[in-house]
Amino acid sequence: MKTFKLALLSVLFFAFTGLVKAQHITILHTNDIHSRITGDGPEKDYSPEITNNDEVIGGFARLATLLKDEKAKNPNGTLVLDAGDFLMGTLFNVNEPYTGFQLAMMKKMGFQYTTIGNHEFDYGPNKLADVINEAKKHGGIPQIISSNLVPDPNSPKDDKLAKLFEDKTILPYEIIDVEGVKIGMFGILGVDAAEDAPLKTPVQVENQIKTAKAMVQLLRKEKHVDMVIMLSHSGEYPDGKGGFEGEDVKLAKKVKGIDIIISGHTHVVVPQPYKVKNTLIVQTGAYLHYLGKLDLDVKNGKIADFKYKLIPIDDKIMGNQELTDEINQYEKVISKKYLQPYGLNWGEPVAETSFNLMKRNKKGYQFTNLGPFIDHAIRTYVDEDGGGTDVTLLASGTVRDNILKGKTGVITPPDVFRVMSLGMANDTLPGYPLARIYLTGHELKGLMNVLLLSNTDDGYVFISGMKAYYNPKKLMLTRIKRIDVDGKQINTSKKDKKLYSVTANTYLLSFIGRVKKLSHGLVNVVPKNKDGQPIKDINNALIDFDKNKPGIQEGSEWLGVIRYMQKLKDTNSNGIPDIPLKYKPDHSNRIVITKKK
């Protein structure tokens, strides 16, 4: 009898479970939008109201249409997520602390959750709070989830951001029911991303793996969720063997219980979810080139099956006209506030090009034409309008975009700004301001020895006005043998106190004062003023670009590039200056450090 009952129960159990219908959940996701509201390409080419007529990728108007269409396929079972760095990269971001325009628009388009990336801190933690607060006033925000950021309770520098954690505008985690599936979400700022956000201070970043383990324990054991999703601004890279490696892969190996990692920060396209144990990792690259779509079949709270695709956000998609109109109006606001004071307008051509100027290629930043072009432009700008300099430095890592020929070849102020979009000089001039310090020949030699350690890719520094010759067989920090400034060899003896002026943006120059620490005390470089007095605050070294006006009239790299462009020759007599052919890749003089045997 007992055997019969057990058999009957078994039959009923399998019959019942066979009838259980799998829940279908769709996750739409993005990462590293970087304020590419009008797409990633020449501003003049972007036309979201017309299809099949341009090569510009992305843009909010097209994304809005795509999100609406995709959500309609599974209206009650769709999540729209973002993995951070939604801000910083175009002229749109400069006015965000006063309007919250982008976050409110993301909410309007249907984004439900996002996390904080390193570039959200580019204006500091309190400015980030201003962005969020203004967006809340003007349409609301996607729910921000951040689990390992800890504001300093004793510092006013992040008190506004601290209040947003206190009033639950920013949550450490969130639980949501989607089609009967209880989903827990948390957000992580990665190690590399945290190091790339110096202006986050005094906000602290807790250990990523410990935080993830604690979040999974809380969500799984105490909140009894069925599924865990991590919004991660950490990332991964191809490992050269057909797979991936990096922070998210490492975390997935060490932390059990995460079903999906929506990844960002590294700008890597992951064509299909990369599986680490039971964790799926996805990433869309950057700049809204793609919308990721992950379709899940969930049975008994577990992923039974999935399908994935990256959907191109291109001009086959008709843009949302309402958003297009709003964006066009906002362009006028930004133009009036940030461009017109410098005699510029949003869509006004400043130059044109018959070829692309690229920030990098397969070999790295130092083998392309955009870096030397910017470096020459800044040198000319400083020499003609800023009192001159012996040496200019340009960090390749701060070159954020290309200048593309596109259909028309026309270059506008927003196109140039995207190339040098980081930082803020003052309330009307975005971008890190240019400053000038003074170093001895001995210090220049030491600086070049340090730069030689990072003379590849992101760490590469373009140099104008100076050449350094080195012996690669020598020990590190002793390789530089000779320094030429303005074509002449200089005395690099410690006894020679002659000073040489060095110009760069304040972000790069702030690192020069830390050379001693970075070289573990082996090299000491002290930024000085023209009288040889040490400079403690780099903002005291700002260059005045108009001595006829009271105070310091600051200049920035992107503005310097525009001023250089405006003075170029109009070779085809159409009223627009042309980028000279000497800046084509095969014409550029990009050798700044020379081996000497």
pLDDT tens per residue across all 597 residues of the chain: 555 454 444 544 444 444 456 899 999 999 999 999 999 999 999 999 999 998 999 999 999 999 999 999 999 999 999 999 999 999 999 999 999 999 999 999 999 999 999 999 999 999 999 999 999 999 999 999 999 999 999 999 999 999 999 999 999 999 999 999 999 999 999 999 999 888 899 999 999 999 999 999 999 999 999 999 999 999 999 999 999 999 999 999 999 999 999 999 999 999 999 999 999 999 999 999 999 999 999 999 899 999 999 999 999 999 999 999 999 999 999 999 999 999 999 999 999 999 999 987 766 666 788 988 999 999 999 999 999 999 999 988 888 899 999 999 999 999 999 999 988 777 688 889 999 999 999 999 988 888 877 655 566 888 889 998 988 888 888 888 999 999 999 999 999 999 999 999 988 888 887 777 777 788 888 999 999 999 988 889 999 999 889 989 999 999 999 999 999 999 999 999 999 998 887 543 333 444 443
* CA 43 – CA 40 distance, rounded (Å): 8
Where along the chain do the CATH 3.60.21.10 domains lie?
21-321
Looking at CATH, the fold of the domain delimited by 21-321 is given as Purple Acid Phosphatase; chain A, domain 2 (3.60.21)
Torsion of the alpha carbons at 153, 154, 155 and 156, rounded to the nearest 10: 80
Give the 3-state secondary structure of residue 105: helix
Q: Which residues contact 485 (CB under 8 A, 6 or more apart)?
A: 390, 391, 444, 465, 466, 500
Residue that is written with structure tokens 């921000």 in the block:
144
Looking at CATH, the fold of the domain delimited by 349-595 is given as 5'-nucleotidase;  domain 2 (3.90.780)
Residue of 370, 366, 394, 371 whose CA lies nearest to 382? 394
Secondary structure E strands in 8-128: 23-30, 78-82, 113-114
User: Are 227 and 182 within 8 A, CB to CB?
Assistant: yes
* CA 406 – CA 42 distance, rounded (Å): 6
Where along the chain do the CATH 3.90.780.10 domains lie?
349-595
CB atoms within 10 A of CB 387: 15
